[in-house]
Amino acid sequence: MAFEPPRRLVRALGETAPDGDDWLEKLPAAAERAVELRELTVERVQVPGGRSSLVVLVRRSDGTPAVLKLAPRRARPESERAALAHWNGLGAVQLLDEPDGTEGVLLLERLHPDVSVRSLPESKALLEAAGTLRRLWVEPPTGHPFETVAERTGRQAETMRAGAVTDPEVAPLVDAAVAVRGELLAGVPEERLLHGTFRQSKVLAGDRMPWLAVGPDPVVGESAFDLARLVRDRVEDLVAQPSGASTTRRRIKRLAESLEVDQERLRGWTLFRAVESGVRARRVGREQDAELLLEFAGWL
Residue 69, CB-side half-sphere exposure with 13 Å CA sphere: 30
Which ranges constitute the DSSP H helices of 186-260?
223-231, 235-240, 244-258
Full-model pTM: 0.93
Note down the domain range covering 52: 7-110
> Do 97 and 236 belong to one domain?
no
Whether the per-residue pLDDT at 18 is higher than 60: the answer is: no
Whether the per-residue pLDDT at 48 is higher than 60: the answer is: yes
Averaged pLDDT, 51-55? 89
Pairing of strands 65-70, 54-59: antiparallel
- Angle of helix 244-258 relative to helix 122-136, nearest 10 degrees, comes to 40
- Angle of helix 171-185 relative to helix 149-166, nearest 10 degrees, comes to 160
Averaged pLDDT, 164-186? 93
Coil vs helix vs strand at 106: strand
Position 254: which residue type? R
What pLDDT does 1 receive? 58
Whether the per-residue pLDDT at 59 is higher than 60: the answer is: yes
Alpha-carbon gap, residue 173 to 271, rounded angstroms: 9
Whether the per-residue pLDDT at 162 is higher than 80: the answer is: yes
> Do 41 and 127 belong to one domain?
no
What pLDDT does 7 receive? 84
What pLDDT does 17 receive? 62
Number of domains in the chain: 2
Percent of the chain's residues with pLDDT above 90 = 77
Alpha-carbon gap, residue 286 to 201, rounded angstroms: 20
What pLDDT does 16 receive? 67
290 domain residue, yes or no? yes
> Do 87 and 133 belong to one domain?
no
1 domain residue, yes or no? no
> Do 138 and 274 belong to one domain?
yes
What contacts 38, CB < 8 A, 6 or more positions away? Answer: 60, 68, 97, 107
Q: Which of 81, 110, 139 finishes a domain?
A: 110
CATH code, domain with 167: 3.90.1200.10
Task: Round the average pLDDT of the chain to a whole number and report it.
Answer: 92
Whether the per-residue pLDDT at 296 is higher than 60: the answer is: yes
Averaged pLDDT, 6-29? 78
Whether the per-residue pLDDT at 78 is higher than 60: the answer is: yes
